A and B are shown apart, each in its own frame.
Chain A
C-alpha cells in the first residue's frame, strides 16, 4: 500500500474486477435500441441462457441486416443472474435504470421470471419472458403485468398435450401405476399438479404411487433413483431438464432404471440428447424444439442456420427467444416505432408468420401468452434425430381445457 492509500495493485484489482463484472454486449449502432437480457449463464441450467443468447444474436443480426427495428439497430446486453431471483431482479432493474436499456427479454426460468415480472410492473417497460413455463405468470390476472408478454410454452399447454398423449400410451400398455420426479420449485410442483390433473382427466384410473422432488441442480440423484426403483411404478413422469435431466438419465442408466419402468418427459432438448452417451430408446418425449416438427421448410432452415453458426443444436429456449424477436420485429413494423410502450397494444392479439408455429403462425393472445406453437410427443432413439414417431397435439383441445382450468382456478 502506498502512503497515499491507493496503490497500483488496488487500481489494477479494481480494474480487473470491473472488467469481470461487465456485461456481454452484442453491439449495434449509435441510435440503437438497447435490449437487456437477464439470463442464466452458469450452473447446470446454463444451457437455457447460452442457447437463448445464441438465438437472440441470430435474430438480432438478421433484423439489423434488414434495417433494424423501425430503422434502429438492436443492441443486446446479456447478464448472468445465476438463476438467483434477487440477483436477476437487480440486474433487470439496473439494465433499465442505469444501463440504457429500453426493454427486456427475460431469458430466465420461472425462479427468475417471477422476480423480473415485479420489476417490469414497477418500471412499466416492455418485457418478453422467454424461459418461464409456469402458467400462473400470465394466466393469473393478479400476477400478469400490463407490459409483460410470455413468449414461451406454458406448463398448462404441455400438461394437456402430454396428458392426452400419455393417457393413450398408458391405455395401450395398461400402465396404471405411475411415479413423478420433478424439480423442487414452483415450475416443478405447479406443472406436475397440472399434468396429473389432465392425465387423470383423460385416464381416471391411474394411481400415483410415489413422488420425488430433487432440488434444482442437485448433483447426486442416487437416492431419488433408488426410491423410484423401490416403488416399482410401471411408468415415470419427470419434469427435470437440462443438466439435471442429463444427470438423471446417466445415473438412471447405472441402475437400469429405464428397463424397470417407462420414462416420460416433455423436457428433452436436442443438446441433452446429444450429450448423453447411452441414450435409452423408448423414452416418451415431448418435442421441445425439433427441426422436423413442424415439418416446415422455414423451421428446417432456421435450425440449420443456428447449427451452422454456433456448431450446436438449438433448444426449446432458442426458438422461444427467437420468436420474441420476431414478435418485436412484427410489432415495430406495424407500429412504425421501436418504442416499447407503443408496442404493447400492438403485440396484444398479434399473429405473426413464424417457423415454430404448428401451421407456420403463432399468436400472442390478449392474455399476453402465445398459442399455436408446435407441441408434439414421440419417443427417443439413440441417434439423430433422437425423437421419432411424433404426434401433433390438438390445439382446439388445449384451448378448451385451458379455459376450463382457468375458470377452475378463478383466473377468469
Chain B
C-alpha cells in the first residue's frame, strides 16, 4: 500500500490526467465486451461464457486482415462483422437448442466452444503469441494535456468506444428494433405474443453482442499480445462489470466499466499489490449493498 503516492497523484494534474485516461481506455474496452454480455443476458437470460472467445477471434481476425490488407480500419470492421455473423451462428446452431433448458447444459456448450476455438486458434495461428503492432496512422508522439500523457491511439479508442456506447444507447432507446429488444428483456412472452419474430430477435442480439466483442478485440489488438485463451482474462472482468452494473443493463455496464478502469488506474498507484483485490472488493460491496447491481432490477 502506498497511500502517499496516491495522495501525491491526486495533487498532480498531470498524474490525474494520465491515470484517468488510462482508466478510461481500460474501462471502455471492457465495456464493449461487457455490453454484449449484459445484452445477451438481459434479453435471453443466457450467461454466455463463450463471450471471451468472440473477443479473441475478433483480435485474431483483425490481425490477419491487417497483415493481408494493410488497413487497420478494414481490419476492425472485418473483425466486428465476422464476429457478428459468428454470434448469430452460435445462437442459431447451439444456444437456441438449449433455451429454457438446464443452465448446466448452457454452460457446458459455452465451455466446449471456448475449448474448441482455443484449439482451432492454435491450429490456424499457432500456440505462440502474436503482436499486431501499432498501425502506421497511429505511430505518433503522445499528446500532453496539463502535463499528462495521452497517446493518440488511446484518444482514438476512447472516442470510438464512446461513440459505440452512444450508438448502442440510442439504438436501444430510440429505434423500433431497439425498443423491441428492450421490451424482450422485460417480457419475452409478451413480445412473442405480439407476433414479433423472437427467433430472429434473439439471433440479432447474439450478433450484436458478438460484433461488439469482436470490435473490442480488434481495437485492443495493436497493443496486446494475441494468444490462444486470451479471451478468458477479459471475460472475468467483463462478468464483474456486468454484475456491478446490473445484469442486463447497458448503462450500468458503462458506469461499472469506467469505474473499474479508474479503480485500476489509481489503484495501481496506491495499492500496487492489491489492484485486482480492489476490483473484487468493489464487486462484493455492490452485491452486499445492492444485490441486483447498480442499474439492475430487483429480482422478484
* Partner-B contacts on A (CB < 8 A): 20, 41-44, 46-47, 49-51, 82, 184, 210-213, 215, 217-220, 222-227, 229-231, 242-244, 246-247, 250-251, 253-256, 271, 275-278
Contacts and interface: CB of A to CB of B under 8 A. Distances in A.
B153 interface: yes
B268 interface: yes
Q: Taking each of B22, B151, B222, which has the highest tally of chain A beta carbons within 10 Å of its own beta carbon?
A: B22
B268 A230 contact: no
A44 B118 CA distance: 12
Q: Taking each of A213, A231, A277, which has the highest tally of chain B beta carbons within 10 Å of its own beta carbon?
A: A277
A12 to B, nearest CB: 14
B29 interface: yes
A190 to B, nearest CB: 15
B22 A226 contact: yes
A229 B18 contact: yes
B54 interface: no
Given A43-B227, A229-B18, A247-B223, A254 B134 contact: yes
A50 B128 CA distance: 7
Nearest to A43: B229
Which 6 A-B residue pairings sit nearest by Cβ, starting from the closest?
Answer: A277-B133, A243-B129, A243-B225, A46-B127, A254-B151, A226-B22
A330 to B, nearest CB: 30
B227 A227 contact: no
B224 A43 contact: no
A277 B132 CA distance: 8
Interface stretch (B188-196, B271-279, B284-292): B271-279
Interface string B98-119: 0000000000000000010011
Contacts, number: 135
B290 to A, nearest CB: 26
A41 B229 CA distance: 11
Interface of B: 5, 9, 12, 14-15, 18-19, 21-23, 25-26, 29, 115, 118-119, 122, 126-134, 139, 141-142, 149, 151, 153-154, 220, 222-225, 227-230, 233-234, 264-265, 267-269, 272-273, 275-276
B134 A253 contact: yes
Nearest to B263: A223
A213 B267 CA distance: 12
Contacts of B224: 219-220, 247, 250-251
Given A50-B128, A220-B220, 13 more contacts: A20-B115, A42-B229, A46-B129, A213-B273, A217-B233, A224-B268, A229-B18, A230-B9, A230-B15, A231-B5, A250-B222, A254-B151, A277-B132
A46 B149 contact: no
